[in-house]
Amino acid sequence: MSQQQDPLAHIRTILENKSAAKQVTYKNLLAAFAVLETESKRIVENLKLQVKIKDEDVTVDFIEVNEHEFQVKLAGDLLIFVLHTNIVTFDETHAAMQQPYFKENEINRYFGQIMIYNFMSDSIRYNRVNDPGYLVARILINHENRFLVEGEGRLGFLFNQISSRPISNQDLNDIVQHSLTTAIENDLMAPPFPQVRFITLHQKLEKTSELGAGQKIGFRMKYESDIK
């Protein structure tokens, strides 16, 4: 706001433009999340029909949690899909913000977020609260329903540019499939022997199920290398 501008006029402009765009963005996000849920159910049902598994404990399931979360269990992996209710933007240094589209109109750069996390299903089953989860993908959708995805594996480059069109059911189906593939392809890595060589009696009594828990190759390893 310039020094000569009327504060009320400035507030009105923001309400008419930025705030209105954020509301449209959130409605787009809700619609996309509903489709993502439907496509996830469809994929799970298809897998149940196609996959021949002799061990009944190796399961594929869809779990509805609430209006902002659902889960897909894929054998030992649990994919958690979460809709965030806040609309966000990015710093100018963010790679995506260098694209011409975001410089054309300020409101183009406001996004709703859907996060896809990968947990080990046993972490939930045994309430191992210290086990890590890994962000597989972040889906970003704006007021024009255009999208981009930040993620691991193929999701790291397939949709890393803002789309030229609104997000489609097929896009969301592809994102689910790639997320499941990324999760199941990354195996657990046992911690180094020295890290689990000694335990306290408290750990034995209180945290037996956590001892020796693995870490996901391709997730934790990449994270650790990024912060060094």
Tens digit of each residue's pLDDT (9 = 90 or more) over 25-63: 999 999 999 999 999 999 999 998 887 766 676 788 999
What was the pLDDT predicted at 223? 38
Whole-angstrom CA distances from 78 to 39, 41, 73, 187, 211 are 17, 14, 4, 13, 20
Whole-angstrom CA distances from 141 to 26, 108, 144, 204 are 9, 10, 8, 46
- Looking up tokens 């889906």 gives 139
User: Stretch 4-14: mean pLDDT, rounded?
Assistant: 71
Q: What is the mean pLDDT of the chain?
A: 82
Torsion of CA 174, 162, 149, 171, to 10 degrees: -10
What was the pLDDT predicted at 149? 95
Whole-angstrom CA distances from 132 to 178, 183, 205, 215 are 21, 14, 21, 8
Angle made by CA atoms 39, 45, 46, in degrees to the nearest 5: 90
- Kindly state the tokens that stand for 12: 């009105």
Q: Which residue type occupies 164?
A: S
pLDDT at 13 over 80: no
User: Stretch 95-110: mean pLDDT, rounded?
Assistant: 87
Helix (H) or strand (E) holding 120: strand 111-120
Whole-angstrom CA distances from 151 to 106, 179, 180 are 24, 9, 12
- For 19, counting Cβ atoms within 10 Å of its Cβ (0-12 exposed, 13-18 middle, 19+ buried), the class is middle
d(C-alpha 182, C-alpha 152), whole Å: 7
More confident residue, 218 or 116: 116
pLDDT band at 207 (very low <50, low <70, confident <90, very high): low
More confident residue, 41 or 7: 41
- Kindly state the tokens that stand for 33: 């999340």
User: Stretch 91-110: mean pLDDT, rounded?
Assistant: 87
More confident residue, 18 or 178: 178
% of the chain residues with pLDDT over 90: 42
% of the chain residues with pLDDT over 70: 77
pLDDT at 17 over 90: no
Residue ranges per structural domain of the chain: 7-187
Least confident of 85-94, 120-129, 173-182: 120-129
Tens digit of each residue's pLDDT (9 = 90 or more) over 112-166: 999 999 988 777 777 777 777 889 999 999 999 999 999 988 888 899 999 999 9
**DSSP bridge pairs for 120:** 77
Overall pTM surpassing 0.95 (yes/no): no
What was the pLDDT predicted at 196? 64
pLDDT band at 203 (very low <50, low <70, confident <90, very high): low
The conformation of residue 62, written as its DSSP 8-state character, comes to E
Q: Would you mind telling me the total number of residues written for the chain in this entry?
A: 228
